[in-house]
Amino acid sequence: MKVTNGQKCIITSLILMFILMSTAYLAAGVLNDKLVPEVEDPVIIATITFEQVDTNGLGGTDEHPHLTNNVMNGIEYDAGIRMVGLMDEESGVLKFYVTQPGISIESAEAYYFDWISRTWGPITFIDKGDTLIGVVGPMGGQEIFEGFDQLNLIIISFSGSGSITFGAYVE
C-alpha cells in the first residue's frame, strides 16, 4: 500500500498539532505556577485544650456542672479553654463552637470571663447551619507569644436538650 501526498499531509498535520498542543499545555502550567501563589498549610499558633473549671464566685456566679456532650434545657454549664502559644503572633482570635442538628442562635446563650474587668461578657454566635461559632474575648483577638498560657472561662446554657459537639480553635 502506497502512502499518498494527501495522507502524508494529514499525518504531518496531526504530529504538528500534537506537538503544538503539548507545548501550549506545558507553557500554561509554567505560567500558572508563576502567577498563582502556593497554598500554604494554616499555621497553628496555639494549642487548645478543655479543662474542668470552678467559676464559683467569679463575677457573682454560682458553680455549674462542666460542659459535656449531652446537655439539658435551661442548665448553665462551665467550660475552661486553655490556650497555650506556640509561636509569636500579633494577635489570635479564640473561637468556640457548638454543633447540634437544628441548632440556632436562639438555642444557646454564652458568656466569657474577662480577667481584666473581672466581669462576664457575652459571646455573640454566628449561625453556620448546624454549628454556632462565637469569639471568646476581644473581637480583635489578643497578642499571642511563645509560652503564652491563658485559661478562658465560659458559661453556656441551652434552650433545648440533646447531644452536642463542641470545640475551639484560634485564627
**What pLDDT does residue 42 have?**
63
Q: Is the pTM of this model over 0.75?
A: no
Decide: 71 and 96 in contact? Cβ < 8 Å. Answer: no
**What pLDDT does residue 66 have?**
92
| pLDDT tens sequence across 51-108 | 998 887 776 677 789 999 999 999 999 999 999 988 777 788 899 999 999 999 999 9
How confident is residue 1, by pLDDT bands cut at 50, 70 and 90?
A: low
Provide long-range contacts, Cβ within 8 A and 24+ apart, for 69-72: 69/163, 69/164, 69/165, 69/166, 70/162, 70/163, 70/164, 71/158, 71/161, 71/162, 71/164, 72/158, 72/161
Residue 7 has pLDDT above 90, yes or no: no
What is the spatial distance between Cα 42 and Cα 83, in angstroms, rounded to a whole number? 17
